[in-house]
């Protein structure tokens, strides 16, 4: 009668481990007889190549164990991109640059490489976390917020001026909303700004040896303004939601995605847009501009009956004919501009 494959496989495996056999033989006969008996056995074939194994090579409790955490950071990157594009009035490149587990005291050394601005937030029942922005990005954001081109002209600066520090609170308020929105599909978190700091040793966010989940976003708003924004969540901060963050692709995740998409659609629908009608353009140098006086005419290089361009925010969207309605200036929309004609 032939044996089943499972039984045959079990029969091929030794019943006792080598150390168990050694201990049993020593208990029955003297060690000299045991060595003699083992000397008669054929040698065990050894593998030709054995790679070194490091017990620190795998982290059983790092971010990889929590797939929903990585999913939330991808959403955060999209939210960052929308916010910065709105402030800078142009497309801004923002990519997730990695998620890793770091020791808090190592995070404090980042400002030794490039000057940082730290936004420390506090959440009831969770604790504190920190958002670290490279100084060049904060200066560029403030410049764009004030109507500039979003450039960091002083790349050698190593701190914020008193005025920039006050304006940085508006940056902090924007980040606060993004962080609360990021967590909303999982739980409600009420973020409040604890402090803005430029010296890492004064942050007081976590113990020196505490592990943190750290997320980096690479931001490129211009050729001169390229840097990193880092989110650092101490493990004690994440402890209350770690079980939820283990969630993988399931019905629960799909329900949360649908709810998040519905809230996003509703929020986008309420975003105010600025529409303006542009009749034409002309180019002046500084001397000509300073010489302008009341009664002067500007040559717009456009025929009287040509349609004007209706802009929405920073994008040309429609051809429109200027006119009036009910005694007020108005514009009749003629046709949407093609994608090629929207290029600025």
pLDDT (mean) for 310-324: 84
Q: Which pLDDT value is given to residue 7?
A: 47
Q: Are residues 290 and 164 part of one domain? A: no
Q: Are residues 281 and 163 part of one domain? A: no
More confident residue, 124 or 254: 124
Q: Which pLDDT value is given to residue 34?
A: 65
The count of structural domains within the chain is 2
> Exposure of 126 by Cβ count < 10 A (0-12 exposed, 13-18 middle, 19+ buried)?
buried
Q: Are residues 194 and 221 part of one domain? A: yes
The top-scoring range by mean pLDDT among 49-63, 155-169, 204-218, 266-280 is: 204-218
In a domain, residue 20? The reply is no
What percent of the chain lies above the pLDDT cut of 90? Answer: 20
* pLDDT-derived band at 51, boundaries 50, 70, 90: confident
Q: Which pLDDT value is given to residue 343?
A: 53
Structural domain boundaries enclosing 326? 275-342
Q: Are residues 330 and 218 part of one domain? A: no
In a domain, residue 91? The reply is yes
Q: Are residues 255 and 124 part of one domain? A: yes
CATH at residue 289: 2.30.330.10
Query: pLDDT (tens digit, 9 = 90+) per residue, 174-213?
Result: 999 999 999 988 889 999 999 999 988 889 899 999 999 9
Please tell me the pTM assigned to this model.
0.57
Nearest to 87 by CA among 162, 145, 169: 145
Q: Are residues 138 and 194 part of one domain? A: yes
Q: Are residues 244 and 295 part of one domain? A: no
Q: Which pLDDT value is given to residue 334?
A: 87
pLDDT (mean) for 8-15: 56
Q: Are residues 190 and 160 part of one domain? A: yes
93-103 β-sheet, strand order: 93-103, 211-220, 226-234, 127-134, 116-123, 192-197
Q: Which pLDDT value is given to residue 57?
A: 46
Calculate the dihedral angle through the C-alpha atoms of 12, 13, 16, 21, rounding to the nearest 10 degrees: 60
Q: Are residues 193 and 136 part of one domain? A: yes
Q: Are residues 336 and 207 part of one domain? A: no
In a domain, residue 7? The reply is no
Q: Are residues 280 and 172 part of one domain? A: no
Q: Are residues 260 and 168 part of one domain? A: yes
In a domain, residue 196? The reply is yes
Boundary of a domain, candidates 269, 291, 311: 269
Residue corresponding to tokens 């290029």? 343
Query: pLDDT (tens digit, 9 = 90+) per residue, 30-41?
Result: 666 767 776 777
Query: pLDDT (tens digit, 9 = 90+) per residue, 87-129?
Result: 888 888 888 878 899 999 999 888 778 889 999 999 999 999 9
Residues 117/227, Cβ–Cβ less than 8 Å: no
pLDDT (mean) for 263-268: 78
In a domain, residue 84? The reply is yes
Boundary of a domain, candidates 269, 284, 306: 269
């Amino acid at each position: 009668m032939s044996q089943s494959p499972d039984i045959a496989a079990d029969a091929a495996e030794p019943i006792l481990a080598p150390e168990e056999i050694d201990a049993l033989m020593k208990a029955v006969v003297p060690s000299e007889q045991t060595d003699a008996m083992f000397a008669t056995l054929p040698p065990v074939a050894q593998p030709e190549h054995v790679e070194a194994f490091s017990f620190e090579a795998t982290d059983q409790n790092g971010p990889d164990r929590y797939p929903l955490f990585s999913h939330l950071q991808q959403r955060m990157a999209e939210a960052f991109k929308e916010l910065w594009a709105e402030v800078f009035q142009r497309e801004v490149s923002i990519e997730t640059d990695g998620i890793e587990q770091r020791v808090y005291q190592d995070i404090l050394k980042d400002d030794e490489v490039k000057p940082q601005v730290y936004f420390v937030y506090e959440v009831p029942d969770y604790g504190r976390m920190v958002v670290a922005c490279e100084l060049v990005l904060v200066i560029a954001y403030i410049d764009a917020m004030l109507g500039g081109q979003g450039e960091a002209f002083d790349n050698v600066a190593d701190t914020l001026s008193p005025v920039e520090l006050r304006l940085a609170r508006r940056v902090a308020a924007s980040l606060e909303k993004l962080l609360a929105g990021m967590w909303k599909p999982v739980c409600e978190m009420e973020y409040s700004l604890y402090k803005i700091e430029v010296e890492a040793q004064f942050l007081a966010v976590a113990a020196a040896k505490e592990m943190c989940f750290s997320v980096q976003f690479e931001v490129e708003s211009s050729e001169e303004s390229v840097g990193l924004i880092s989110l650092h969540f101490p493990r004690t901060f994440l402890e209350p939601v770690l079980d939820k963050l283990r969630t993988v692709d399931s019905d629960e995740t799909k329900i949360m995605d649908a709810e998040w998409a519905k809230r996003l659609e509703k929020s986008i629908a309420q975003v105010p847009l600025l529409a303006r009608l542009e009749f034409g353009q002309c180019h002046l140098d500084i001397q000509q501009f300073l010489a302008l006086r009341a009664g002067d005419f500007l040559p717009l290089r456009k025929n009287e009956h040509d349609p004007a361009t209706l802009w929405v925010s920073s994008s040309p969207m429609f051809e429109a004919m200027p006119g009036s309605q009910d005694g007020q200036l108005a514009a009749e929309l003629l046709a949407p501009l093609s994608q090629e004609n929207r290029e600025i």
